[in-house]
Chains A and B, each alone.
Chain A
């Protein structure tokens, strides 16, 4: 036995090494199978796939990239939460400090640009799924899970947009939520809202319509900031993670990535 082999054996034959790497290097069919089966992340995949489904020119890797960007957002978002305080007094100041004073403040940039990218990759993922007809049976259900994921992705981005609490943020959210005023029946400037009244008493007005519910007030103020913060950091990420689990599970159960049969 050569010296090198001996040294390497003294590492890889230890109990510690073997408890972490439970199989040899994946260059044999057996070890390749084990590599995928014995690792919780890789185990999202089957052991073997049809060659057509993993071509970049087929999937564009857009679903995978969306998931990757979601993970980046979770990681950078977590770091940002250590600094950012969601109150009208402090929010702007905290965001500002990220650039000037905080080590690794560049996390804000990564978080923002990855968020923009994620919106683009979801759209392109959906584009590819449509163009390859992958919503057709048996994948109707998963397409619908995807539609909800699309909405959640946009809502995640929308709620995050408010948090810097600068002019751009507040007015973009004002413009966006102004639409809710016009919700038929439920918005105070929506068609039919006036019908919901009894003897001159209006049930739907600026102080109780859907927009008020979204913003916790008549305009984008501190209540809206807190509401958006909680949804952005806890509510929507949890829903998204749960739905992604379902989504990936369904990809497997529906026979893997689509292909001609």
Chain B
């Protein structure tokens, strides 16, 4: 039984399955939010997680990674994100039912009352403050901060990992070159966040939890934050070992584990496999199919969607807002697209021009 759980865990956490499961989980959360946001569900989740940890604790490989002092925050991140996602969806479900019946929302009911900051707010702030001070002190006394060997620029540790909050971006390096994963996408994330209030035309859902009034926005943030940020941080921390190879939670971090690299550029698919001829020497001709594809993706898709699925969105947002939103979304959509193509047809680059450090 124990071995079965370990093997199943190792299998379920490999990047493909892990990502697909995360997607499935978010879809399930959105679709079955009414059933999943009950109290027994969250109790069951936390009891289940605790039981799993207790079971896994005795395993030397699992124990080694989980008890690293710097990994404690990741466990806190996991637990709090699960809890607050559940809580916010629960309140959204309740509010949506109330709105449907024409009643005021949970927040709307309380908003009518005004209370003195002293004591109503000051006391709860004070309790939070004391609780957190206590938590920090206990944590600090119990778990010493790590200090490794002195810096030596000649000895590269394996794996070399960025600080944990950037591990999502490091994970993207598997699929993209650094100029996309490390510069372009972070830049777009910041710019995209700044743009949110200006491109969201929906005036509803301001100041209370709801899902039905802003289904697109909420789903977008769940996917972006919970999946592409938090889940990737967890993947990068616990499941990526030496050489950034994948290791299941019960697997030994073997430096010699090598994953075969057999990825193929789109140009090879086009010229060699489809047309059965050698790739042209001129990089521009060689990469023409990829360039056309990428340009088409970014230039034609927004127009196509504006005429079809997003017709109303296009009207609401206006030309500028729509185009900004679409281009951001298309860049982020490139991540799952590239991942899927890597897993299925081992695609390396759509456009591969190492001559100019320009690979997409």
Contact A259 B208 (CB under 8 A): yes
Interface of B is mostly: helix
A positions within 8 Å CB-CB of B: 26, 29, 32-33, 35-36, 42, 45-58, 60-61, 64-65, 68-69, 72, 88, 92, 95-96, 99, 106, 108-110, 112-114, 116-117, 119-120, 123-124, 127-128, 130-137, 139-140, 143-144, 147, 150-151, 154, 157-158, 161, 164-172, 174-176, 178-184, 187, 189-194, 219-221, 258-261
Please name 17 further chain A to chain B contacts, defined as beta carbons within 8 Å, in addition to the given A113-B143, A123-B77, A123-B225, sorted by A numbering.
A26-B118, A49-B115, A51-B110, A99-B147, A112-B145, A120-B76, A123-B230, A157-B163, A166-B151, A172-B162, A175-B162, A176-B166, A178-B182, A182-B357, A190-B183, A194-B356, A220-B151
Interface stretch of the complex, out of B29-37, B120-128, B306-314: B120-128
In the bound assembly, the distance between CA atoms of A60 and B73 in angstroms comes to 18
In the bound assembly, the distance between CA atoms of A184 and B157 in angstroms comes to 28
Contact string against A for B residues 91-112, beta-carbon threshold 8 Å, 1 for contact and 0 otherwise? 1100000000000111111111
Contact B163 A161 (CB under 8 A): yes
* Closest-CB distance, B182 to chain A (whole angstroms): 3
Residue among A112, A133, A172 making CB contact with B207, cutoff 8 Å:
A133
A48 touching B356 in the complex, CB below 8 Å, given contacts A167-B148, A260-B105: no
Chain B: CB-nearest residue to A178: B178
User: What residues on A are CB-neighbors of B76 within 8 Å?
Assistant: 117, 120
Chain A: CB-nearest residue to B164: A116
Interface of A is mostly: helix
B positions within 8 Å CB-CB of A: 70, 72-73, 76-77, 80-81, 84, 87-88, 91-92, 104-122, 124-125, 128-129, 132-133, 136-137, 139-141, 143-153, 155-157, 160-166, 169-170, 177-179, 181-184, 190, 193-194, 196-198, 200, 203-210, 214, 217-218, 221, 225, 229-230, 356-358
User: What residues on A are CB-neighbors of B150 within 8 Å?
Assistant: 92, 165-167
Contact A166 B147 (CB under 8 A): yes
User: What residues on A are CB-neighbors of B151 within 8 Å?
Assistant: 88, 92, 165-167, 169-170, 220
Contact B118 A167 (CB under 8 A): no
A154 touching B165 in the complex, CB below 8 Å, given contacts A42-B118, A124-B84, A130-B221: yes
User: What residues on A are CB-neighbors of B206 within 8 Å?
Assistant: 132-134, 136-137, 258, 260-261
* Closest-CB distance, A121 to chain B (whole angstroms): 9
Chain B: CB-nearest residue to A192: B356
* Closest-CB distance, A86 to chain B (whole angstroms): 13
In the bound assembly, the distance between CA atoms of A32 and B179 in angstroms comes to 56
Contact A64 B128 (CB under 8 A): yes
Contact A32 B136 (CB under 8 A): no
